Amino acid sequence: MLKIAMLSTGEEVLHGDIVDTNAAWMSRQFFEKGFSLSKRTTVGDIMSDLVEELMMLSFNMDVVIVNGGLGPTTDDLSSAAAAKASDQELVLFPEWLETLKAFFQKRGVPMPDSNLKQAMLPASSEIIDNPIGTACGFKMLINDCLFYFTPGVPSEFKMMVDTQILPDLQSRFPEQVGSDCSRLFTFGTSESGLSDKLDKVQLPQGYMLGYRSYLPFIEVKLFGPKGDLDTRVRLLQLIYKLIESHVVSVDESMLDHLGHLIAEKKLSVSISEQSTQGWLTNWLHSNERAASFCGHTWVLSGATEVGTKDQDSLAAAFALSGATREKCATDIGLVTGKVEEDQFTVALSTPQGEWGQQLKFNRTFTKQDQKELVGTIAADMLRRYLSGKPVFVNYSSTTTLKEMHLPANVL
Amino acid sequence: MLKIAMLSTGEEVLHGDIVDTNAAWMSRQFFEKGFSLSKRTTVGDIMSDLVEELMMLSFNMDVVIVNGGLGPTTDDLSSAAAAKASDQELVLFPEWLETLKAFFQKRGVPMPDSNLKQAMLPASSEIIDNPIGTACGFKMLINDCLFYFTPGVPSEFKMMVDTQILPDLQSRFPEQVGSDCSRLFTFGTSESGLSDKLDKVQLPQGYMLGYRSYLPFIEVKLFGPKGDLDTRVRLLQLIYKLIESHVVSVDESMLDHLGHLIAEKKLSVSISEQSTQGWLTNWLHSNERAASFCGHTWVLSGATEVGTKDQDSLAAAFALSGATREKCATDIGLVTGKVEEDQFTVALSTPQGEWGQQLKFNRTFTKQDQKELVGTIAADMLRRYLSGKPVFVNYSSTTTLKEMHLPANVL
């Protein structure tokens, strides 16, 4: 198996001033194209650390992508470190010097002296063009390991990976084939709850399950050989059946799926938010399809009393969902009621009737996590309604205290 | 010098499904407390890779923080890898098993069998408590290198680092002294714009400036020796003067600062959002102080026409801010108007008068970035008003097309 690593450089990355989005992006591209990384490492702008890391990687890896450290300033050390690690001199590459001069001439300014450094590369390197910046990339062997050096600026880096490095790897290693990945997005269960159910699934050779947990969703991923469609579909059906009540979407996020459903049914939605304070509206609007069917939203301040004094909070949310729908003249009214201690309400008013439930958090959540959980439960009620599924279901992080449903003919 | 590394584990991190925000966060915390990292590495859920990396780090480092791989599922391998690398058995830690059982009992569900695994640790480990999750952390020596194993869930990880690991390191290595760091949060300028102004500041020995850029804010950080208060205050004043018009808060985020201002002035705020679609309300509500002074919000759907046909969009936003304030019976009305092509409006209505401006984006932003920028400009108008500063200012990412101001006595 081809062993591939990425080395990110720079004090600002190492000390966390910058989140290394280049690394996440490249890892995903490489994985999908069949060039999975075995390892990523990050070191700062210290010559000895850089040289040591290049040497270490050269002994253990087949291919290494180095990112950053090609700028014109004195703390950009990647070329010099590559020269040291391969026991070569830095030499002037006249072709890149010409490119640099042209770059500055076009902008009507003389080339600063500091940029000359960007045309000095280890003697055995081969230039990788950078059509949108002053730092060229380069490739070279160190101890038989193939190194690609790339600039840290994300746009320059991404263009270089997409148009030059990945094609180069594909022509050098045509036998590397990526795997396919199917995704089931679940809500309202735990990772252990899922794995208890899915651990019994017998996976054929070459297939693998993975979980990706990010509140409030857990993504179940099925990896397997490319093109093997029959087996994949059969496995997906099997997995789907085992966890059906918690699957909110397949191969697209719950929000994207909800956007499709709303657009397909052409139903307009208005919202009243108490506990979620704008979170639900902001979230729904981040999907273009859903946004185009959203009517008004009222975000009600904490102090607001909705309903009469004698009404309980579920009845109040229930009434509010009808009122929201009516006042905003939309097909659907969706409500997140106030959080009181560890209890909250959600309600949905539709042409087919109204649904409301009062729930209790099973554990302590931060305010932000509460918002996301309550908002997602409200959205899940809408999703279930639009998909023709039972609107109520059990979620592992909450306990249902009361449910109310009025069909339209009763209203 | 103490050599410290962080090892992030997990296929989802290695293959870029998750951006490793834990790593950036921890690196920053450690740096500020005087425990700068020398290196970060990432490997996937493959036993041989994990064991190899643990071994390698144990030979080259003094302290290693391992993140992830402590979950209940079969692809969580960190404890088993630690046992292998240190040539120990995994043994049951009854105290954690009790904690797990209590955790599930409190939720009224039986403990899934798979969670038993989370109480199996290398024999020589010492448990690190996790009060908010099922994965305990643990610490142990491997080849004389001190390892801390931590859960991947960010809230659990951060709590463990803050309350247990950093204090433990500080008591073990009292000679490591962090630098003090003061922060100026800026909005509406660029990093090069800031550094052009601040490059001329003569910093005494031991002081350093850093920038951390995250849309729409750029944080200017002044690092320097602990306790050296006179010099620090003098430098901060100097720096503040040079970039004053863009500083939105000092040593607290703009939102926290705004929360303090609103609470101090005891002014209630109602909001109408068109372009920001709930983002602004949700953001303001994430500060407790600000939330308690927030009245209602209307999020208006894209299709809404506000104002009469002949009215221009600035006049419409202006009118809406007054109407919002009046209808919601609050002291202040704040409005983000519709985005049309690359233009948008923001308006503020107060007891002292009304302010509105029409602006143009200077470059292309994603929808999400547009929301954050427009919402932050609206909030900045409020901040400037509450601080007694001029409400209008130039932002580098926008151009002001029109400004309108009506003092209260004219209204």
Q: Which amino acid is at A349?
A: S
Query: Do A269 and A398 fall into the same domain?
Result: yes
| Share above pLDDT 90 across residues of chain A, in percent, rounded to a whole number | 70
Of the ranges A88-97, A134-143, A170-179, B320-329, which one carries the lowest mean pLDDT score? A170-179
Q: How far is CA B185 from the centre of its chain?
A: 12
pLDDT of residue B411: 57
Q: How far is CA B130 from the centre of its chain?
A: 22
pLDDT of residue B12: 84
Query: Do B221 and B271 fall into the same domain?
Result: no
Of A39, A281, A286, the CB nearest to B368: A286
pLDDT of residue B289: 93
Residue numbers of the domain that contains B29: 4-172
* A306 pLDDT tier (thresholds 50, 70, 90): low
Q: Is A160 near chain B, with CB under 8 Å? A: no
Q: Do A292 and B278 touch (CB under 8 A)?
A: no
Strands B217-224 and B180-187: antiparallel
pLDDT of residue A201: 92
Q: Is A117 near chain B, with CB under 8 Å? A: no
**Do the domain assignments include residue A258?**
no
**Do the domain assignments include residue B37?**
yes
Query: Do B195 and B294 fall into the same domain?
Result: no
**Do the domain assignments include residue A100?**
yes
Burial A126-163 (b: 16+ CB within 10 A, else e): eebebeebbbbbbbbebeebbbbbbbbbeebbebbbee
Distance between CA atoms of residues B222 and B200, nearest Å: 14
The structure tokens listed for B100 are 């797990």
Distance between CA atoms of residues A393 and B9, nearest Å: 34
Query: Do B230 and B153 fall into the same domain?
Result: no
How would DSSP label each residue in B14-72? HTTSS--HHHHHHHHHHHHTT---SEEEEE-S-HHHHHHHHHHHHHH-SEEEEES--SS
Q: Do B74 and A292 touch (CB under 8 A)?
A: no
Using the predicted structure, report yes or no on whether residue B340 has a pLDDT greater than 90: no
CATH assignment of the domain containing B26: 3.40.980.10
State the nearest Cα–Cα gap between B76 and chain A, in angstroms.
10
Instruction: Count how many domains chain A has.
Output: 3
Query: Do B217 and B280 fall into the same domain?
Result: no
| Share above pLDDT 90 across residues of chain B, in percent, rounded to a whole number | 73
**Relative orientation angle of helices A47-60 and A78-85, to the nearest 10 degrees:** 50
Query: Do A29 and A149 fall into the same domain?
Result: yes
pLDDT of residue B9: 96
Q: For residues A48-62, give the mean pLDDT.
A: 96
Which residues in chain A have Cβ-Cβ distances shorter than 8 Å to B294? 277, 301-302
Of the ranges A85-89, A407-411, B42-46, which one carries the lowest mean pLDDT score? A407-411
Using the predicted structure, report yes or no on whether residue A265 has a pLDDT greater than 60: yes
Q: Do B297 and A297 touch (CB under 8 A)?
A: yes
Task: Give B309 or A92, the one with higher predicted confidence.
Answer: A92
* A220 pLDDT tier (thresholds 50, 70, 90): very high
Taking only residues 342 to 381 of chain A, the set having a beta carbon closer than 8 angstroms to any beta carbon of chain B reads 362-364, 366-369, 371
B407: cis peptide before it, omega within 30°? no
Of A15, A23, A294, the CB nearest to B27: A15
Which residues in chain B have Cβ-Cβ distances shorter than 8 Å to A4? none
* B341 pLDDT tier (thresholds 50, 70, 90): confident
Q: Do B15 and A27 touch (CB under 8 A)?
A: yes
Q: Do B15 and A21 touch (CB under 8 A)?
A: no
Looking at every residue in chain B, the average pLDDT score rounds to: 92
Q: Which of A139, A172, A205 is the last residue of a domain?
A: A172
Q: Is A253 near chain B, with CB under 8 Å? A: no
The structure tokens listed for B338 are 């519709």
Using the predicted structure, report yes or no on whether residue A311 has a pLDDT greater than 70: no
**Relative orientation angle of helices B229-243 and B191-198, to the nearest 10 degrees:** 120
Q: Reading across the β-sheet that carries A217-224, which strands appear in turn?
A: A208-214, A217-224, A180-187, A247-250
Q: Do A199 and B18 touch (CB under 8 A)?
A: no
B216: cis peptide before it, omega within 30°? yes
Distance between CA atoms of residues A322 and A333, nearest Å: 6
Q: Do B31 and A24 touch (CB under 8 A)?
A: no
Query: What confidence tens digit (pLDDT) does each residue in A189-214 have?
Result: 888 889 889 988 999 998 988 887 77
Residue closest to B341 by CA, chosen among B365, B372, B321, B357:
B365
Task: Give A91 or A110, the one with higher predicted confidence.
Answer: A91
H/E stretch holding A23 reads: helix A21-32
Q: Is B101 near chain A, with CB under 8 Å? A: no
Distance between CA atoms of residues B31 and B209, nearest Å: 14
Q: Is B14 near chain A, with CB under 8 Å? A: yes
Using the predicted structure, report yes or no on whether residue A307 has a pLDDT greater than 80: no
**Do the domain assignments include residue B17?**
yes
Query: What confidence tens digit (pLDDT) does each residue in B51-93 have?
Result: 999 999 999 999 999 999 999 988 899 999 999 999 999 999 9
Q: Is A55 near chain B, with CB under 8 Å? A: no
pLDDT of residue A285: 93
Four-residue CA torsion sign, B162, B166, B171, B175: negative
Beta pairing partners, A223: A181, A208
Q: For residues B234-262, give the mean pLDDT.
A: 95
**Do the domain assignments include residue A286?**
yes
pLDDT of residue B29: 93
Query: Do A23 and A160 fall into the same domain?
Result: yes
Of B278, B300, B301, the CB nearest to A278: B278
Q: Which of A155, A172, A189 is the last residue of a domain?
A: A172
Q: How many CB pairs under 8 A join A and B?
A: 195
CATH assignment of the domain containing A272: 3.90.950.20
Helix (H, G, I), strand (E, B) or coil at A302: coil
**Is A406:A354 a contact under the CB 8 Å cutoff?**
yes
State the nearest Cα–Cα gap between A124 and chain B, in angstroms.
28
Q: Which of B223, B250, B277 is the last residue of a domain?
A: B250
Using the predicted structure, report yes or no on whether residue B306 has a pLDDT greater than 80: no
Helix (H, G, I), strand (E, B) or coil at A180: strand
**Do the domain assignments include residue B317?**
yes
Distance between CA atoms of residues A20 and A40, nearest Å: 11
Q: Is A237 near chain B, with CB under 8 Å? A: no
Distance between CA atoms of residues B30 and B168, nearest Å: 12
Q: Do A42 and B38 touch (CB under 8 A)?
A: no
Q: How far is CA B403 from the centre of its chain?
A: 32
Query: What confidence tens digit (pLDDT) does each residue in B204-241 have?
Result: 998 988 877 777 898 898 988 888 899 999 999 999 99
Distance between CA atoms of residues A189 and A383, nearest Å: 17
Residue closest to A277 by CA, chosen among B271, B19, B387:
B271
Of B27, B36, B281, the CB nearest to A278: B281
**Do the domain assignments include residue A358?**
yes
* A64 pLDDT tier (thresholds 50, 70, 90): very high
CATH assignment of the domain containing B227: 3.30.70.2860
Q: Is B267 near chain A, with CB under 8 Å? A: no
Is the reported ipTM for this assembly greater than 0.85? no
Query: Do B82 and B140 fall into the same domain?
Result: yes
Q: Which amino acid is at B109?
A: V
**Do the domain assignments include residue A29?**
yes
Q: For residue B269, what are the contacts with CB-CB under 8 A and spacing of at least 6?
A: B262, B284, B290, B293, B294, B295, B330, B331, B332, B333, B334, B382
Query: Do A277 and A246 fall into the same domain?
Result: no
Which residues in chain A have Cβ-Cβ distances shorter than 8 Å to B364? none
Q: For residues A357-375, give the mean pLDDT.
A: 92
Query: Do B273 and B396 fall into the same domain?
Result: yes
Query: Do A99 and A118 fall into the same domain?
Result: yes
Q: Do B277 and A292 touch (CB under 8 A)?
A: no
Residue closest to B18 by CA, chosen among B46, B53, B44, B57:
B44
Query: Do B160 and B238 fall into the same domain?
Result: no
Of the ranges A226-240, A303-317, B335-349, which one carries the lowest mean pLDDT score? A303-317
Q: For residues A282-300, give the mean pLDDT.
A: 92
pLDDT of residue B200: 85
pLDDT of residue B303: 60
Q: For residues A24-38, give the mean pLDDT.
A: 90
Using the predicted structure, report yes or no on whether residue B309 has a pLDDT greater than 70: no
**Is B399:B360 a contact under the CB 8 Å cutoff?**
yes
* B305 pLDDT tier (thresholds 50, 70, 90): low
User: What separation in angstroms does the CA of B397 have from each of B190, B258, B342, B361?
Assistant: 8, 22, 12, 6
Q: Reading across the β-sheet that carries B294-299, which strands appear in turn?
A: A398-407, A353-361, A343-350, A332-336, A269-273, A294-299, B294-299, B269-273, B332-336, B343-350, B353-361, B398-407
Q: Do B53 and A40 touch (CB under 8 A)?
A: no
Q: Do A295 and B281 touch (CB under 8 A)?
A: no
**Is A123:A89 a contact under the CB 8 Å cutoff?**
yes
Q: Is B72 near chain A, with CB under 8 Å? A: yes
Q: Is A193 near chain B, with CB under 8 Å? A: yes
Which residues in chain A have Cβ-Cβ distances shorter than 8 Å to B53? 39
Query: What confidence tens digit (pLDDT) does each residue in A145-165 have?
Result: 999 999 998 889 999 999 999
Q: Is A177 near chain B, with CB under 8 Å? A: no
Q: Do A210 and B277 touch (CB under 8 A)?
A: no
Q: For residues A297-303, give the mean pLDDT.
A: 81
